[in-house]
Structure 1
């Protein structure tokens, strides 16, 4: 990433002025020995200035952090992204996990969620969304636009829509290619690509998140059809951290998709001893071709990736 210059500090300006004065003095100096001393001084001052500038630029990058929380809510998904004073929540899991999730967000000091993404209307992703809308100040809620034949007639989805209307929360359909600023990070919507799937998983809203030199990808429960559409469309997929699709199911994370993502880290959100057998052995085998740094909420609890734009600090609830 090209480092952004924040301008010279007053100390750096004085140092630069001193270099200029010493250089001019050296040009006017007749004594050769004095010239050597003066030009040596110029070189030292220039080195100090260079270090000072580099240090200030490094601070600009490392001082601006993002945290991605893969929250352990059993067999479901919920991801909190925080950068500066901007917060995003992707999914919220089952309604039965609402109290646990709300408590976690409260402990993180969250009062406002600037963006809430409901990747797709399955209960393990949006079952408790009405409780989230009722509890927090919400800036905007983003969901996929469903074909009329695919709109679910479920209590939890109707309660979500009722809560949105009651609090007059802005509700938007996921717009392919839309950029969302999260602090100094940028999230880009990379899916869905079709207006009619007949499969709610493939409507999943996909997000590619870029923070300096670091990157994350989230694809909900998108299955192989939707993954192929992302590949064919040429959207950005190559990411450091891959939130493994569909809880590690063999319906997602195709070999072609994993090749496009080429993750350095993988995070699987699934429940301990779940009845689906997630993550599937074939998924783990395919992931192992790219990374051995695989984190699982069923084993390690909540997992947090902190990024300064260059490096990661990874924290787990359990070792």
Structure 2
């Protein structure tokens, strides 16, 4: 018997030590919120298991992702979606909604009050009709849940007339005790500006990055107001759109945001006990943007009417920018800095275009043609290795 004890006790001790010291995602089940950023390629689908026992699904991928999402949810022993939200009527967000509606028990459906002519959109409406489900307009100011520990609010769309369908996106904020989460759909600059003007509290620990990391979203001011610690990008591997845009990755890096991407890490699970947030994986490696010469060079200004771009060296030593590239984003035009382009410490050089374009000391002539769109045209600066180092 003593021999058996000597064998069993060390084994028990090992299990106790493992339980104490191996990091785990587990919290007490009744106290947690789980967010599943489901890998649906170049599309979007997020399942939120709320701590009150209810479930919310935000988008359902494209048309061929419907069964995948339904099976994913069923494998979690979930048969009911209490809040089903289609952020906006693009196929990569609502494509699988009809499968979800047909296959699961749905309590409420929310979509922005905008129609679309696609078969995908009509399929969603027909699926809801077959189950006698009405669709509640998703709009700013709509509160889905509100108690002392848990709040779910829709904070956009605010307007009623957008030229770009993405700006109709339902933007949802979930707050659970001391942790908060912002889901932005494909909301672009116009919607972000409206949200900022509304003055709502945007601070969130996790940001679901808008429009798959496109440069049309996640403006610098919007990001600063959110001030997230983590960012999730739902994006397809090697997608034709170039998402996520390097400008967004650079912007997140500069703000010290830890980045997670479905194209590199698959489905990402975040869980919160109301105090801390844990993940099923680690963030991707952050690009160091602070310890190279590129980070010392900036686009100081872009004069759209005079067609003058000012590039400044903020470093204490001279920097050679030969072979670097200045890009007019809307027009797609590029200016390559010629050999021996040197900027002294603290100095500024000008790149000119249009009828007043000229060369001279600290002036480089791009072209006699007009480059910059007077309505606004983003400028980007890349180093000789093609790394994005600045934007304006």
- TM-score class normalised by the smaller sequence: 0.7 to 0.9
Asked whether the 8 Å contact 1:69–1:80 carries over to 2, the reply is yes
Q: Give the distance between the partners of 2:156 and 2:283, measured in 1 at CA.
A: 32
The equivalent of 1:40 in structure 2 is none
Asked whether the 8 Å contact 1:71–1:302 carries over to 2, the reply is yes
The equivalent of 2:48 in structure 1 is 81
- CA distance 1:136–1:63, shift in 2 (3 Å): closer
> What is the CA RMSD across the aligned residues, in angstroms?
2.0
Q: Give the distance between the partners of 1:236 and 1:170, measured in 2 at CA.
A: 30
Counterpart pick for 1:157 among 107, 110, 121: 121
Counterpart pick for 2:214 among 240, 249, 260: 249
Q: Does 1:168 align with 2:128?
A: no
Q: Does 1:70 align with 2:37?
A: yes
Alignment gaps of 5+ in structure 1: 1-59
Q: Give the distance between the partners of 1:309 and 1:318, measured in 2 at CA.
A: 21
What's the TM-score once normalised by structure 1's chain length?
A: 0.77
* Larger RCO (alpha carbons 8 Å, 6+ apart): 1
Q: Does 1:271 align with 2:236?
A: yes
Q: Give the distance between the partners of 1:208 and 1:110, measured in 2 at CA.
A: 22
Q: Give the distance between the partners of 2:78 and 2:163, measured in 1 at CA.
A: 36
- Once the two structures are TM-superposed, the CA of residue 182 in structure 1 deviates from its matched residue by 8.1
Asked whether the 8 Å contact 1:242–1:266 carries over to 2, the reply is yes
Asked whether the 8 Å contact 2:259–2:283 carries over to 1, the reply is no
Q: Give the distance between the partners of 2:79 and 2:282, measured in 1 at CA.
A: 23
The equivalent of 2:100 in structure 1 is 132
- Is the partner of 1:288 in helix, strand or coil? helix
The equivalent of 2:88 in structure 1 is 120
Asked whether the 8 Å contact 1:86–1:182 carries over to 2, the reply is no
Aligned residues: 256
Asked whether the 8 Å contact 1:209–1:217 carries over to 2, the reply is yes
- Once the two structures are TM-superposed, the CA of residue 175 in structure 1 deviates from its matched residue by 3.3
- Is the partner of 1:102 in helix, strand or coil? helix
Alignment of 1:1-319 (within 5 A): 63-83=30-50, 84-146=52-114, 151-181=115-145, 184-316=149-281
Asked whether the 8 Å contact 1:301–1:317 carries over to 2, the reply is no
Q: Give the distance between the partners of 1:209 and 1:139, measured in 2 at CA.
A: 19
Deviations 1:4-24 (A, max 9, x none): xxxxxxxxxxxxxxxxxxxxx
- Of Structure 1 and Structure 2, the greater strand share is in 2
- Of Structure 1 and Structure 2, the greater helix share is in 1
Q: Give the distance between the partners of 2:202 and 2:69, measured in 1 at CA.
A: 29
